[in-house]
Amino acid sequence: MPEKLYNWLDERLGLSAIKELATHKQVPDHKHSIWYYWGGLCLFFFSVMVLTGILLLMYYTPGEGAYDSVRNINTHVKFGWLIRSIHSWSANLMLFSAFVHMFSTFFMKAYRAPREFLWWTGMGLISLAMVFGFSGYLLPLDDLAYFATKVGLGIPATVPVIGPIISDLARGGAEIGPITVQRFFALHVWVLPSLFIPLLGLHLYLVQKHGMSIPPSEQAKPVAQRKTIPFFPNFAVKDLAVWLIAANVLALLACVFPWDLGPAADALKPAPADIHPEWYFMSSFQILKIFGNWFPGALGEFLGLAVFNLGVFLWVLVPFFDPNTRSGAWGRRVTWYGYLVVLVTIVTTIWAYAALPAAH
Amino acid sequence: MSDVKNPQTPEEGADEGRRTFLKLAAGAVGACYAGLVGYPVYRYIASPVEDAAAVGAVTEVTLPPEAAATPKNAAFMFKFGTKPAMLIHHDDDTWTALTAVCTHLGCTAGYEPSKKQIFCPCHGGTYDAHTGANVAGPPPKPLDKYKVAMTSGKVVVSRA
């Protein structure tokens, strides 16, 4: 009977083609294989966020009642604190995994032809993930969310001409308020997912099309010496094990360090002394601050923004500078650029945290 | 080497046993995880149901002051726990409290002063305004009646 049912479905849905694909797909097995798991981890944390996000939608209300509805979730709804905590922790762990994934694919030169669109769709996904993080941060409308968003939306305002227009449109006025929360909510639960999910689909399709990328050290070996394991079941089981570890880490963090809800936002109260953005914005925050100190006034803000954007622009265009194994000196220069970016990111992040005043 | 092919050797039997054990263990761990995820999610979604059950468990409601001022041949609508209910002030100055939930399909029924009866517009169910008895239309049961206590302008309605 199960076989009959399978045959009936197979004729109509083409299941065996998928099975064929899964059993024939091979995953390279070498000393850098550990980096193959980070993309899958991003997918896992994203799925957790979709599910917990839907659950939060059942009780969250944007606009005037935003803060009270989050307080209700945190204190009254059964396990509400847990669902919210998992959603927030998952966001942070996804961005962390995405950064590891980005840097590991960079140094494994996985952006080289014909994989350029994997690099670019990845850039799009990580950018959208950061906008997800920024917009989600405001939704509870506690004091930290209020002032962090105020600072964040002040940054585009320094760009001449269009900057103030962008900031005003994002805020829905001159000040952050219930209208801002309402539009950030629309962005967070509708606009961003409807951009993110198709882009993610394209990214995953391209991974299937081009297979896992093989790092240069493996490509140097003759084909006969390269080892592979079947995707199904061998790699899938390992992937599942990694997801299980991730689920345990996530549950532990969410329970032991439940996400806080500060006092309700109040524009008339001074901002908290240790006000700062989420860790994944700290580096760019510090770069802007450094330029602001070097060149006082609007010039410093503009220069900081320009240098930061130039760095990101070069990062995105890397497949053009280093298109294949014959890139030679350019290939090495791109690797050095990667080291520089890692160094600047780490140093400015630590610097930014060290510069924070102690919490009250 | 020949005994490797023989399924009756102790090693082979132990292998089979180990495989069954591992399958069962994996299934048990999987079930534990499903429970650990499923239980909080269920309680989270069911949270308002628990709240409603607590509100619905009331046995007595003190009505606002307007209730006592209801004119004759009129009704005052209120909530008994979570459910709509009505307090009717009759022409003979007696009072009746009934649930307003039609016993047919749960619409809210209302008092009709012109006919001095309770009428549900959804399917034309009609009830007696004094007893709550179903007198016409599809309702299968009478409306539940509550006890009314009037003390110095305060109306207290309680489960009969």
Please state the domain extents for chain A: 2-268, 273-360
A50 has a chain B CB within 8 A of its CB: no
- H or E element at residue B156: strand B154-159
Q: Does B54 touch chain A (CB under 8 A)?
A: no
Give the tens place of pLDDT for each residue, B64-80.
Answer: 999 999 999 999 999 99
Q: Does the distance separating the beta carbons of B50 and A79 come in below 8 Å?
A: no
- 3 state DSSP class of A3: helix
C-alpha A133/C-alpha A151 separation (Å) is 15
DSSP string, B99-114: E-B-TTT-PBPEEETT
B40·A58 Cβ contact <8 A: no
Specify the pLDDT at position A75: 96
Cβ-defined contact of A78 to B41 (cutoff 8 Å): no
Selection from A235, A238, A247 nearest residue A47 by Cα:
A247
B28-51 residue pLDDT tens = 999 999 999 999 999 999 999 999
Q: What is the DSSP string of B20-79?
A: HHHHHHHHHHHHHHHHHHHHHHHHHHHHHHHHHHHHHT--EEEPPGGGGGPPTTEEEEEE
Mean pLDDT value of segment A117-130: 98
The topology (CATH level 3) of A2-268 is: Cytochrome Bc1 Complex; Chain C (1.20.810)
Q: Kindly state whether A58 is in contact with chain B, defined as any CB-CB distance less than 8 angstroms.
A: yes
The per-residue pLDDT for range A46-60, each reduced to its tens digit, is 999 999 999 999 999
Any CB–CB contact under 8 A between B53 and chain A?
no
CATH topology assigned to domain A273-360: Helix Hairpins (1.10.287)
Of the pLDDT bands very low, low, confident and very high (cuts 50, 70, 90), residue B10 is low
Which of A48, A73, A78 is the best mutation test for B, with the most CBs of B within 10 A? A78
What are phi and psi for residue B133, nearest 5 degrees?
-65, 140
Cis status of the peptide bond prior to A233, with omega within 30 of 0: yes
Token pair recorded at residue A38: 């980070």
Say what percent of chain B tops pLDDT 90: 79
Q: Is the CB of residue B151 less than 8 Å away from at least one CB of chain A?
A: no
Chain A residues within 8 A of B22 when measuring between CB atoms? none
Polymer length of chain A = 360
User: Which stretch, A70-74, A296-300, B79-83, has highest mean pLDDT?
Assistant: A70-74
Do B41 and A77 count as a contact with CB atoms less than 8 A apart? no
**Nearest-neighbour CA in chain B from A185: distance (Å):** 21
pLDDT in the model for residue B1:
45
Domain assignments of chain B as residue spans, ordered by start: 2-56, 60-159
Give residue B7's pLDDT: 53
Of A58, A82, A247, the CB nearest to B45: A58
Query: Per-residue confidence at B117, pLDDT binned at 50, 70, 90?
Result: very high
Q: What tens digit of pLDDT does each residue of A256-315 get?
A: 999 999 999 988 888 888 788 899 999 998 998 899 889 888 788 888 889 999 999 999
Half-sphere exposure of A42 (CA within 13 A, CB side): 21
In this predicted complex, what is the ipTM?
0.88
CB A158 within 8 A of CB A151: no
CATH code of the domain occupying B60-159: 2.102.10.10
Q: Which pLDDT belongs to residue A339?
A: 96
